[in-house]
């Protein structure tokens, strides 16, 4: 059977963004709802029959009731046959989570919560000849993944299509050094005779391609970037499977906000201009920038930094600047030019230059300027 | 160094102006607003202002506003030439719309700004500010600086200090302010931080933190530590939660498993209970049938057996009675024999008594009082004898000359004493020599005669008694006395034995009884008893058997009446067995894993108890589960915050160490400046001061050479109010020239002076002019004034503008 699937995960509804100031925090929280709504809209436009959320729809198990209900309303807008929601390690289901109680109580038949280790035969409920093999999370951290029960199946039940859905760190993709997050090896997944694996957990998509053909394993990545460690634009997969089970997938760019955590070096006016061009563009209002500025510049340029920061703050959604690495280019020549030979500052700076302590020199320079300014 | 010319093509309000300078003194004269200052500014700009100066900087804004020709000029152009060590440097700079710059020297030309600046700095020897503060300085700016120094009395009293300070603060940086600012910043960073131990003061960690006056290092430390604690706490709670969830899950799984198993078995429970009852009934019925079968079979046998056993019992009882009779006869015979033996024994004792009596009769009976009397007499004799023998006399008959000598000693009889014989007498001695000598000697303390009488009386009575008793001495009397008594005691004892043996019978009676048993006969008692024991045992067993048989038989008779009735009952029981077996067939079978229904029911009971236990654990764990409050911010979320806080703490600490290093370096520099020799500068100042005051003041040693101060000719120190006494500008000039010479040393220097003479009275003006001329002798001076008279006074190269 031919089937179109929109595959997403790690929406993290309810993420609080505590590290951000109030003015942007609310926007970031809201952006995640919008991202989910946009995904549903895209899925409808692309005429998807299946909408899969491979874990971490919610950021935690303690989500406000109104937020959970809002999510249900968004999901109910899906025009296809079925929405599959599987608990991930953030919104795990250990059988006592009120969130999932509420969620399952309020759901229509269209939405299925995959919180049991069993085969979900969608043919019986949704007119889709698809068997689903979920590996939901029942806790936050686990050395062992939840593929065991699928491995133990002697044979797969009859269905036109077999789709595995799992949440956890994928070998080679996630920086899960301790293998604490339901770690899965590619070979382990390939060994299980399903037609497709739809994964969640790692916030970057897998494979790292725009268009993919004949691939079996997909990781959705988060649809909406959620922090400075998330430098991409947010993704989801639009997967199409034809009658012969040929798989074709298109990576969709889905995020609104863009987080950039970077370092820029300013040495002269040209580098300052380049920096401005880079960030003050048409996507500035969607950009959250954590910028570490480094370099040694002359006084004139140094004095421009506040103007630059102001400009960035006015244009970008959010800017956090660390300019502790930016300083004046303080050399013996500069000191000679700026201070009278034999004067105390002149001697002090020359001594600090001789000590080759750049930081102390910067601090001392600022102190002397402060004294001079009165 | 000297300036050769300045060309202001377009610079501020001045255009197309060329001014050439000569060595020595140059005086630019012009009215106010004529452009004197602009020309000097153009000179400074040519040397130090970048032709690419940005408009959006403070300096740039000021510069372009001031020096782009007003109202519509878009560029400023200046050329100048200065000479250093006979090498000309021609500088050309254009600011504004088409900035450009070049430096020509020694046939070369530099256009790159960086190279130009570097070359110029190299040639000039000092940077922009040195020139700005000393060479191009305005008189009023130097005055202000010096006024500040002179307010500090301690400093101003000593010219050395003034000069040092003057050098230090040329850039307008107050040492005190700088030190104070560093201390303030240090406090901001280090407050309540123990630098030596790199920890909070008093080691007050996050659990007991300082509340007030915390520096930024400690604040960052506390923030970091708080996050660390939060992280640890979050991790602990999360781990606890996770473990509890696992436990709860396991309990619920167990509960479910028990429930499933229990439900599986519970469906059979009714049947199994019924089966248990029926099986029990069936067992009883089967037992009953077996009993009935046995009863039916045993009924006639038992009847016969009971009769046989009765006969056998009678025979045994007769035999037992015979044995009993025989035993009685044997007993009587045995008793007669015992009586015989007793009589023999009595007879033997009677003979022993007769012997004892015969022995006793041989002895004279000595009574106890006679023995006591004998003892008393004997004691009396011994006492008299002892007393008489108390006075012992010793003697020797040395010579008798043929006479017969007789002695009577104590109680001894008279005896003859031979010559040479020794004698011993107790209490009494009588010596007689034939009939002619008779001597009695007595021991003085002894009544010898009385004693002797007592002794003799006692001896006589004792001898009389012994004789009567027919014994030789007292000892024999005592032996005979004891023997007699012993014999008497033996006789008494033997008579008692006879009495005991006879009891209340007499010998005659006993002898008569022996006669009666003579005709009896019987076997040995032991033999009879053995037979009796055997018969009794057989009798007991047989009786028990008969009783048991009789009892069973009675029971059967009572219960069944007769064998026919038994067979009826058996038939009924067998029918019941068949019915019960049919019922059992219709019940659910006992699951294979159980051997009995009891085992099944017991297992089900255990399952129910286990389920109850699991349910209890579930409730408890569920309560615990919901009681755990997960942290608002998770461990995962806190981790990056902690990392950032750690970095911030390190940053704050690094900044603090920077401040400390700066402070140390500053203090060291100040110390070096204080200790360093300032003599060349002092000498220069002294030289110019002397010129200024016509030799009236100079610099000399004060207070025993400890300080350098300004002194008069008469060696009196100039008061500290020197700078407020009106000679201020003159002293300033002296100081400035001293500094110029000090800085440029052997090189030719140059200085730009604005109208520094304007406030001086004629006398001081003359002296100041002398000073300027003196400096101009070896250096270049460019003096600007609006006063032609001053120009005249100065003479030199006067340039009108």
For B319-365, the three-class secondary structure string (H helix, E strand, C coil) is: HHHHHHHHHHHHHHHHHHHHHHHHHHHHHHHHHHHHHHHHHHHCCCC
Asked if the model's pLDDT at residue B62 lies above 80, the reply is yes
State whether B662 and A333 contact (CB < 8 Å): no
Q: Which of A255-264, A347-356, B513-522 has the lowest mean pLDDT?
A: B513-522
Statement to judge: residues A43 and A73 lie in one domain? yes
Cβ partners under 8 Å of residue B463, min gap 6: none
Statement to judge: residues A205 and A285 lie in one domain? no
Statement to judge: residues A312 and A361 lie in one domain? yes
Statement to judge: residues A58 and A27 lie in one domain? yes
Residue B517, Cβ density class (10 Å: 0-12 exposed, 13-18 middle, ≥19 buried): middle
Statement to judge: residues A131 and A266 lie in one domain? no
State whether B661 and A355 contact (CB < 8 Å): yes
- Chain B, 149 to 168: residues with Cβ < 8 Å from chain A are 167-168
How many beta-carbon pairs below 8 A join chains A and B? 142
pLDDT reported for residue B497: 92
State whether B658 and A337 contact (CB < 8 Å): no
pLDDT reported for residue B249: 84
Strand partners, B751: B781
State whether A360 and B658 contact (CB < 8 Å): yes
The nearest CA of chain A is from the CA of B59 a distance in Å of: 8
Domain tally for chain A?
Answer: 2
Interface test with A, best of B170, B626, B671 (most A CBs within 10 A): B170
CB A180 within 8 A of CB A143: yes
Average pLDDT, chain B: 86
pLDDT reported for residue B460: 92
Statement to judge: residues A54 and A175 lie in one domain? yes
The nearest CA of chain B is from the CA of A25 a distance in Å of: 15
Confidence grade of residue B236 (pLDDT, cut at 50, 70, 90) = very high
Residues of chain B contacting A357 with CB distance shorter than 8 Å = 658, 661
Q: Tell me which chain A residue has its CA closest to the CA of residue B667.
A: A348
- Token code pair at residue A92: 């795990």
Q: Tell me which chain A residue has its CA closest to the CA of residue B249.
A: A94
Statement to judge: residues A11 and A155 lie in one domain? yes
Q: Tell me which chain B residue has its CA closest to the CA of residue A357.
A: B658
Q: Which of A187-201, B186-200, B381-395, B489-503 has the lowest mean pLDDT?
A: B381-395
Statement to judge: residues A241 and A292 lie in one domain? no
pLDDT reported for residue B424: 84
Q: Tell me which chain A residue has its CA closest to the CA of residue B238.
A: A140
Q: List the one residue out of B747, B798, B736, B801 whose CA is nearest residue B771.
A: B736
Residues of chain B contacting A174 with CB distance shorter than 8 Å = none
Parent domain of A69: 3-253
Q: Tell me which chain A residue has its CA closest to the CA of residue B180.
A: A371
With pLDDT > 90 as the criterion, what percentage of chain B qualifies? 44
State whether A96 and B171 contact (CB < 8 Å): no
Query: B670 CB near a chain A CB, below 8 Å?
Result: yes
The nearest CA of chain B is from the CA of A44 a distance in Å of: 35
Enclosing H/E stretch for B193 = strand B193-194
Statement to judge: residues A293 and A340 lie in one domain? yes
Cβ contacts of B158-161, under 8 Å, gap ≥ 24: B158/B702, B158/B707, B158/B708, B158/B709, B159/B682, B159/B685, B159/B699, B159/B708, B159/B709, B159/B710, B160/B678, B160/B682, B160/B707, B160/B708
Total Cβ atoms within 10 A of residue B569: 18
Q: Which of A296-310, B153-167, B348-362, B627-641 has the lowest mean pLDDT?
A: B153-167
State whether A139 and B245 contact (CB < 8 Å): yes
State whether B173 and A138 contact (CB < 8 Å): no
Q: Tell me which chain B residue has its CA closest to the CA of residue A60.
A: B634
Statement to judge: residues A137 and A239 lie in one domain? yes
Residues of chain A contacting B743 with CB distance shorter than 8 Å = 341-342
Total Cβ atoms within 10 A of residue A276: 14
Q: What is the mean pLDDT of residues B453-470?
A: 90
Tokens 């604005």 sit on residue: B754
Longest dimension (CA), chain B: 209
* Model confidence pLDDT, tens digit, residues B144-194: 766 666 665 444 445 566 666 666 666 767 788 889 999 999 999 999 999
**Cα-Cα-Cα-Cα dihedral sign, residues B642, B643, B644, B650:** positive
Q: Which of B282-286, B299-303, B704-708 has the lowest mean pLDDT?
A: B704-708
ipTM confidence: 0.74
Residues of chain A contacting B634 with CB distance shorter than 8 Å = 60
* Model confidence pLDDT, tens digit, residues B14-26: 889 999 999 999 9
Cross-chain CB nearest to A363 (options B641, B655, B670) = B655
Cross-chain CB nearest to A140 (options B60, B181, B242) = B242
Domain boundary among A231, A253, A275: A253
Q: What's the CA gap between A322 and A311, in Å, rounded?
A: 15
Q: Tell me the DSSP string of B365-425.
A: PPPHHHHHHHHHHHHHHHHHHHHHTTSEEEEE----TT--EEEEETTSPEEE--TT-EEEE
The nearest CA of chain B is from the CA of A359 a distance in Å of: 7
* Model confidence pLDDT, tens digit, residues B542-579: 999 999 989 988 988 998 888 889 999 999 999 999 99
State whether A368 and B134 contact (CB < 8 Å): no
* Model confidence pLDDT, tens digit, residues B27-47: 999 988 888 999 999 999 999
Query: B242 CB near a chain A CB, below 8 Å?
Result: yes
pLDDT reported for residue B303: 87
State whether B673 and A360 contact (CB < 8 Å): no
Interface test with A, best of B64, B148, B190, B245 (most A CBs within 10 A): B245
Confidence grade of residue A371 (pLDDT, cut at 50, 70, 90) = confident
Residues of chain A contacting B177 with CB distance shorter than 8 Å = 371
Q: List the one residue out of A133, A140, A191 whose CA is nearest residue A169.
A: A140
* Model confidence pLDDT, tens digit, residues B673-697: 777 656 677 777 777 777 777 776 6
Q: Which of A41-50, A84-93, B778-787 has the lowest mean pLDDT?
A: B778-787
Confidence grade of residue B710 (pLDDT, cut at 50, 70, 90) = low
Total Cβ atoms within 10 A of residue B322: 13
Return phi, psi of residue B102, to 5°.
-155, 155
Asked if the model's pLDDT at residue B703 lies above 80, the reply is no
- DSSP type of residue B778: T
What are the Cα distances from residue B246, in Å, to A92, A114, A178?
Answer: 13, 20, 20
Tell me the CATH number at A140.
3.60.21.10
Q: Tell me the DSSP string of B630-669.
A: --SS-HHHHHHHHHHHHHHHHHHHHHHHHHHHHHHHHHHH
Q: What's the CA gap between A361 and B665, in Å, rounded?
A: 11
Q: What's the CA gap between A339 and A365, in Å, rounded?
A: 11
CB B231 within 8 A of CB B636: no
Higher pLDDT, B519 or A176: B519
The nearest CA of chain A is from the CA of B786 a distance in Å of: 29
Asked if the model's pLDDT at residue B294 lies above 50, the reply is yes
Most confident region among A150-154, A248-252, B154-158, B769-773 by mean pLDDT: A248-252
Average pLDDT, chain A: 92
**What is the strand order of the sheet B2-11 is part of?**
B14-20, B2-11, B75-84, B87-96, B100-105, B108-110
Tokens 């901001």 sit on residue: B188
Confidence grade of residue B704 (pLDDT, cut at 50, 70, 90) = very low
Query: B777 CB near a chain A CB, below 8 Å?
Result: no
The nearest CA of chain B is from the CA of A192 a distance in Å of: 27
CB B549 within 8 A of CB B302: yes
Q: What's the CA gap between B677 and B52, in Å, rounded?
A: 42
Statement to judge: residues A66 and A156 lie in one domain? yes
Q: What is the mean pLDDT of residues B746-763?
A: 82
Q: List the one residue out of A18, A19, A10, A31 whose CA is nearest residue A290.
A: A19
Statement to judge: residues A292 and A310 lie in one domain? yes
The nearest CA of chain A is from the CA of B661 a distance in Å of: 7
* Model confidence pLDDT, tens digit, residues B327-349: 888 888 888 888 889 999 999 99
Cross-chain CB nearest to B669 (options A303, A339, A348) = A348
Interface test with B, best of A25, A94, A340 (most B CBs within 10 A): A340
State whether A367 and B182 contact (CB < 8 Å): yes
The nearest CA of chain A is from the CA of B199 a distance in Å of: 22
Query: B502 CB near a chain A CB, below 8 Å?
Result: no
State whether B245 and A138 contact (CB < 8 Å): yes
Residues of chain A contacting B637 with CB distance shorter than 8 Å = 18
Query: B548 CB near a chain A CB, below 8 Å?
Result: no
State whether A364 and B673 contact (CB < 8 Å): no
pLDDT reported for residue B232: 93
CB A316 within 8 A of CB A289: yes
Domain boundary among A253, A276, A308: A253
Q: Tell me the DSSP string of B132-166.
A: IIIIS--HHHHHHHHHHHHTSHHHHT-HHHHHHHH
Cross-chain CB nearest to A324 (options B130, B182, B651) = B651
pLDDT reported for residue B691: 77
Query: B182 CB near a chain A CB, below 8 Å?
Result: yes
Residues of chain A contacting B182 with CB distance shorter than 8 Å = 367
pLDDT reported for residue B713: 54
pLDDT reported for residue B246: 83
pLDDT reported for residue B766: 83
What are the Cα distances from residue A364, in Å, to B164, B339, B658?
Answer: 21, 146, 8
- Token code pair at residue A106: 């309020």
State whether A367 and B181 contact (CB < 8 Å): yes
Cross-chain CB nearest to A94 (options B121, B128, B249) = B249
CB A110 within 8 A of CB A83: yes
Cross-chain CB nearest to A345 (options B171, B245, B743) = B171
Q: Tell me which chain B residue has its CA closest to the CA of residue A358.
A: B658
Q: List the one residue out of A73, A80, A67, A49 whose CA is nearest residue A12.
A: A67
Residues of chain B contacting A370 with CB distance shorter than 8 Å = 181
* Model confidence pLDDT, tens digit, residues B757-790: 777 778 778 888 888 888 898 889 999 998 888 8
Confidence grade of residue B706 (pLDDT, cut at 50, 70, 90) = very low
R_g (Cα) of chain B, nearest Å: 80
Domain boundary among A202, A234, A253: A253
Q: Tell me which chain B residue has its CA closest to the CA of residue A364.
A: B662
State whether B245 and A342 contact (CB < 8 Å): no
Asked if the model's pLDDT at residue B539 lies above 80, the reply is yes
């Amino acid at each position: 059977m031919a089937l179109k699937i929109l595959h997403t995960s790690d929406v993290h509804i309810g993420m609080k963004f505590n590290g951000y100031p109030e003015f942007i925090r609310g926007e970031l929280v809201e952006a995640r709802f919008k991202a989910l709504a946009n995904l549903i809209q895209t899925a409808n436009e692309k005429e998807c029959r299946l909408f899969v959320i491979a874990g971490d729809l919610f950021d935690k198990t303690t989500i406000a009731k109104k937020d959970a209900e809002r999510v249900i309303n968004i999901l109910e807008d899906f025009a296809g046959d079925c929405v599959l929601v599987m608990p991930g390690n953030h919104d795990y289901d250990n059988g006592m989570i009120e969130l999932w109680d509420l969620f399952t109580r309020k759901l229509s038949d269209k939405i299925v919560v995959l919180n049991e280790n069993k085969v979900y035969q969608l043919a019986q409920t949704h007119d889709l000849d698809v068997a689903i093999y979920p590996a939901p999370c029942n806790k936050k951290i686990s050395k062992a993944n939840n593929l065991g029960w699928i491995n133990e199946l002697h044979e797969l039940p009859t269905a036109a299509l077999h789709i595995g859905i799992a949440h956890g760190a994928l070998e080679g993709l996630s920086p899960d050094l301790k293998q604490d997050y339901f770690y899965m090896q590619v070979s382990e997944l390939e060994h299980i005779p399903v037609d497709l694996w739809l994964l969640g957990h790692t916030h970057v998509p897998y494979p790292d391609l725009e268009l993919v053909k004949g691939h079996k394993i997909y990781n959705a990545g988060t649809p909406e970037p959620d922090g400075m460690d998330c430098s991409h634009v947010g993704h989801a997969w639009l997967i199409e499977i034809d009658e012969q089970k040929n798989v074709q997938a298109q990576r969709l760019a889905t995020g609104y906000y863009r987080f950039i955590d970077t370092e820029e070096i300013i040495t002269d006016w040209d580098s300052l201009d380049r920096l401005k061009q880079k960030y003050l563009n048409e996507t500035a209002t969607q950009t959250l920038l954590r910028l570490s500025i480094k370099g040694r510049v002359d006084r004139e340029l140094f004095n421009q930094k506040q103007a630059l920061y102001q400009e960035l703050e006015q244009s970008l959604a959010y800017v956090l600047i660390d300019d502790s690495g930016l300083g004046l280019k303080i050399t013996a020549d500069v000191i000679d030019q700026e201070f009278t030979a034999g004067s105390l500052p002149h001697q002090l700076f020359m001594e600090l230059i001789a000590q080759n302590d750049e930081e102390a020199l910067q601090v001392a320079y600022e102190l002397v300027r402060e004294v001079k300014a009165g | 160094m000297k300036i050769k010319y300045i060309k202001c093509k377009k610079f501020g309000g001045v255009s197309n102006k060329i001014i050439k300078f000569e060595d020595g003194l140059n005086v630019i004269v012009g009215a106010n607003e004529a452009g004197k200052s602009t020309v000097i500014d153009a000179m400074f700009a040519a040397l130090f202002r970048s032709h690419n100066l940005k408009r959006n900087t403070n300096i740039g804004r000021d510069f372009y506003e001031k020096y782009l020709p007003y109202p519509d000029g878009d560029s400023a152009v200046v050329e100048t030439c200065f000479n250093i060590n006979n090498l000309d440097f021609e500088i050309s700079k254009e600011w504004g719309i088409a900035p450009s710059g070049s430096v020509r020297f020694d046939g070369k030309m530099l256009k790159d700004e960086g190279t130009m600046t570097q070359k110029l700095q190299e040639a000039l020897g000092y940077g922009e500010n040195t020139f700005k503060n000393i060479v191009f300085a305005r008189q009023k700016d130097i005055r202000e600086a010096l006024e500040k120094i002179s307010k500090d009395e301690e400093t101003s009293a000593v010219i050395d200090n003034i000069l040092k300070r003057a050098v230090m603060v040329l850039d307008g940086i107050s040492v005190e302010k700088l030190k104070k600012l560093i201390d303030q910043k240090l406090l901001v960073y280090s407050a309540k931080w123990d630098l030596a131990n790199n920890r909070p003061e008093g080691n007050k960690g996050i659990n007991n933190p300082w509340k007030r006056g915390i520096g930024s290092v400690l604040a960052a430390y506390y923030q970091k530590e708080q996050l660390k604690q939060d992280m640890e706490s979050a991790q602990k709670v999360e781990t606890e939660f996770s473990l509890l969830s696992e436990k709860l899950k396991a309990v619920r799984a167990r509960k479910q498993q028990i429930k499933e198993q229990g439900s599986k078995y519970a469906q059979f429970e009714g049947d199994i209970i019924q089966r248990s009852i029926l099986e029990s009934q069936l067992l009883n019925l089967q037992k009953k049938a077996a009993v009935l079968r046995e009863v039916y079979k045993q009924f006639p046998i038992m009847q016969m057996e009971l009769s046989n056993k009765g006969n056998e019992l009678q025979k045994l009882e007769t035999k037992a009675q015979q044995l009993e009779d025989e035993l009685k006869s044997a007993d009587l015979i045995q008793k007669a024999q015992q009586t015989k033996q007793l009589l023999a024994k009595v007879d033997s004792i009677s003979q022993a008594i007769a012997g004892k009596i015969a022995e006793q009769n041989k002895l004279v009976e000595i009574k106890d009082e006679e023995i006591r009397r004998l003892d008393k007499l004997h004691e009396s004799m011994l006492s008299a004898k002892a007393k008489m023998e108390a006075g012992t006399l010793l003697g020797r008959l040395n010579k008798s000359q043929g006479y017969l000598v007789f002695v009577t000693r104590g109680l001894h009889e008279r005896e003859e004493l031979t010559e040479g014989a020794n004698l011993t007498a107790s209490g009494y001695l009588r010596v007689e020599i034939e009939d002619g000598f008779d001597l009695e000697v007595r021991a003085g303390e002894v009544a010898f005669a009385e004693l002797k009488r007592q002794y003799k009386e006692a001896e006589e009575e004792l001898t009389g008694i012994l004789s009567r008793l027919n014994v030789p001495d007292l000892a024999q009397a005592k032996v005979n006395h004891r023997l007699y008594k012993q014999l008497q005691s033996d006789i008494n004892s033997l008579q008692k034995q006879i009495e005991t043996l006879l009891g209340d019978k007499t010998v005659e009676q006993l002898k008569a009884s022996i006669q009666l048993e003579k005709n009896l006969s019987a076997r040995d008692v032991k033999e009879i008893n053995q037979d009796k024991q055997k018969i009794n045992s057989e009798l007991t067993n047989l009786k028990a058997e008969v009783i048991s048989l009789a009892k069973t038989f009675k029971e059967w008779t009572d219960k069944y009446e007769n064998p026919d009735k038994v067979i009826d009952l058996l038939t009924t029981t067998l029918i019941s067995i068949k019915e019960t077996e049919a019922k059992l067939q219709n019940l659910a079978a006992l699951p294979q894993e159980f051997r009995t229904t009891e085992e099944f029911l017991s297992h089900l009971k255990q399952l129910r108890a286990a389920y109850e236990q699991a349910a209890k654990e579930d409730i408890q764990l569920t309560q615990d589960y919901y009681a755990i409050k997960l942290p608002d911010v998770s461990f995962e979320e806190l981790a990056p915050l902690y990392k950032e806080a750690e970095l911030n703490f390190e940053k704050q600490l690094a900044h603090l160490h920077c401040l400390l290093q700066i402070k140390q370096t500053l203090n060291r520099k100040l110390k070096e400046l204080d200790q360093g020799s300032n003599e060349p500068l002092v000498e220069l100042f002294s030289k110019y001061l002397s010129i200024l005051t016509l030799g009236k003041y100079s610099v000399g040693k004060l207070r025993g050479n400890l300080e350098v101060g300004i002194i008069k000719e008469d060696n009196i120190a100039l008061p500290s109010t020197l700078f407020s006494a009106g000679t201020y500008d003159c002293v300033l000039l002296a100081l400035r020239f001293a500094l110029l010479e000090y800085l440029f040393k052997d090189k030719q220097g140059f200085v730009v002076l604005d109208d520094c003479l304007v406030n001086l009275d004629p006398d001081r003006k003359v002296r100041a002019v002398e000073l300027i001329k003196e400096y101009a002798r070896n250096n270049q001076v460019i003096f600007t004034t609006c006063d032609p008279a001053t120009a005249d006074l100065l003479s030199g190269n006067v340039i009108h503008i």
